[in-house]
Amino acid sequence: MSDVEAVSVISVIGAGLAGSEAALAAAGQGVRVRLYEMRPAKMTPAHRTGNFAELVCSTSLGGEGIQQSKGLLQAEMRTVGAAIVGSADAAKVPAGNALAVDRDEFSARVTRLVREHPLIEVVEGEVTSIPDGIVVIASGPLTSDALAEDVARLTGSERLSFYDAAAPVIDVDSIDMSVAWRAGRYDQSADYLNCPFTKEEYLRFFGALETARTHTPHDWEKLEFFEGCMPIEEIARRGVDTPRFGPMSPKGLDDPRTGRWPYAVAQLRQEDREGRMWSLVGFQTGLKWGDQREVVQLIPGLQNAEIVRYGVMHRNTYLNAPTVLHSTLQLKADPQKLVAGVLAGTEGYLESSATGWLAGTNAARLARGLLPLTPPAESMLGGLVRYLASANPKGFQPMNVNWALVPELPVEINEKTGKPRKLGKREKRPVMFQRGLDAFTLWALDKAGLNVTPQPIPEPAGA
């Protein structure tokens, strides 16, 4: 590796989950890394220690097993020896089928791995401008104002958001198309799915919305709502008819079954290129997730809705990824700069660390004179970064991993009837898990040239 050791140092900004993983992934390829972290010299309102990869909200890195999209991403990261999942496994605590950790032991382990690595130099202090050369920007949701200004300079200020106001996103397979129909208002193109309410259905929905519990934000997350991003529950507080004269207006939408406008309508807009995910228009919300699911499932046509991303309302700093990023996580404006974690448009600890691994891996490849890579579409990491690069940029919101990110299985034909055989999700997800893990392992070995540890497929009983 002597030729690699002579490579110029790459920089990583931020020692959260994404930045720590990026630094260790790059150093693991023999590339020297300068890792910048402003804590403990400058703390954020959310953190309480100076340790790296500190978990500030939950102790969980998501559900495990062959039924879980996060379970597949965990397996992919274990295959390449990623540090965050490895540290989580070592610091694991009982939590049913979730990968939960002792947060102090976990962050201490990651900190030790970073500080003891001979190719990583830790530089303490705030970074106010992006360094020259190859850089991974992984500064997280609480990126300092000065650095955010420099990111905005590089990418365009209109592509940087500071306020995460997201609506629930639904798996298209769980939408009842015998109730919903596709149409646009008046002469608009038919780009929306429409869920019609009768008066009785609307009043039942409104009553549930009125009594649903909301998330109580941390002091550092307190929000000042503005009209363009008003949560649906805040709209409802203004009166029973306010939602149906606002985001739930039926005007211009003739129900094909009646030829008339419904009493109210909930609309869904396509989120991804393949049409696997649809978001509820105007339904930004801060409702607790259990209550949020109950309210959403009172919408006609969504009674069996599978929510692949819940609505959130909190302080966040992130890029409009499809306008600025390649699927390799390189910035279009400067391919020597890569972005990972929440700033890249991900949601969740596991997703942050996985994109950190890919950004660090690709930064090291650039430093070694190699082309950066994108994991296969069948893998969960490949599906996530492809989504970031190709999602609908209008109203883009951060995304966590879910099964709708990866391609559907080929349609099976029933030999007796000659008709397509539709698999239930409990049947098809283990097959998608195996397909994705196989594709990722082959890619990591043959395309990326990495050392891999093949991962056994979990038993179904442990899913």
* Per-residue DSSP letter, 447: I
* Per-residue DSSP letter, 196: E
Q: Is 197 helix (H, G, I), strand (E, B) or coil?
A: strand
C-alpha span between 165 and 141 (Å, rounded): 13
Strand blocks (E) in 86-197: 92-93, 98-101, 120-124, 135-137, 160-165, 169-171, 181-182, 192-197
- Is residue 253 marked as binding? no
For the chain, the distance separating the N- and C-terminal CA atoms, rounded to the nearest angstrom, is 41
C-alpha span between 455 and 3 (Å, rounded): 31
Specify which residues 34 forms β-bridges with: 11, 121
- Is residue 16 marked as binding? yes
Specify which residues 135 forms β-bridges with: 11, 337
> How many Cα neighbours within 13 Å face the side chain of 348?
21
Residue 97, CA distances (Å) to 70, 71, 460 in order:
11, 10, 12
Q: Is 53 helix (H, G, I), strand (E, B) or coil?
A: coil
Rounded to 10 deg, the angle between the 380-390 and 425-442 helix axes is 90
**b/e for 149-182, b at 16 or more Cβ within 10 A?**
ebbbebbeeebbbebbbbbbbbbbebbeeebbbe
C-alpha span between 336 and 277 (Å, rounded): 31
C-alpha span between 266 and 193 (Å, rounded): 8
- For residue 309 the two structure tokens come to 């991303």
- Which CB contacts under 8 angstroms, 24+ apart, belong to 251-254? 251/185, 252/185, 252/186, 252/188, 253/183, 253/185, 253/194, 253/196, 254/183
Q: List residues forming the annotated binding site for FAD.
A: 14-19
Q: List residues forming the annotated binding site.
A: 14-19
